[in-house]
Amino acid sequence: MSQTSSLLPHKIIGVAVIWNDQEQILIDRRRPEGSMGGLWEFPGGKIESGETIPECILREIDEELGIEIEVGEHLITIDHTYTHLRVTLTVHQCRHLTGVPQALECDEIRWVNLEELDQFAFPKANFQIIAALRQSKEVKGSNFFG
């Protein structure tokens, strides 16, 4: 690890790739005034002390979107260093169970097909998530929870 990256703040983040029954993924757009404002992302948030990643994901999705999900298998873990921040994203496949998603802590939410993700601007670390989703879909087809 370089001296520079060790001085940056490091956030460990649980990330949910939430699928619905129509095989669409839920994405949200960050508020313009925040860090990486206006970019789209897969929902999730910072892990709190004593939490597991699945517990973090369940809590964050409830707080941010007001829905209930099932946390499924681990998809990918990404370590990425931005100029101002180092992040570790631990990403899980998730399934929407109940509730209508609401933009409680973001600007906008959308259900999109995997093929449509290229139409949205994501932070750089998210490109690896999209690539992992495409690879997983090729290997498993559409049965992520089977």
Residue numbering of the annotated binding site for Mg(2+): 44, 64
How is 45-87 classified by DSSP, letter by letter? EEPPTT--HHHHHHHHHHHHH--EEEEEEEEEEEEEE-SS-EE
Q: How far apart are CA 35 and CA 21, in angstroms?
A: 32
Going by the annotation, the residues of the binding site are 30, 41-44, 64, 126
Going by the annotation, the residues of the binding site for 8-oxo-dGTP are 30, 41-44, 126
Contact between 29 and 36 under an 8 Å Cβ cutoff? The reply is no
Q: How far apart are CA 56 and CA 53, in angstroms?
A: 5
Strands 10-19 and 86-98, sheet pairing = parallel
Centre a 10 Å sphere on the Cβ of residue 57 and count the other Cβ atoms it contains.
26
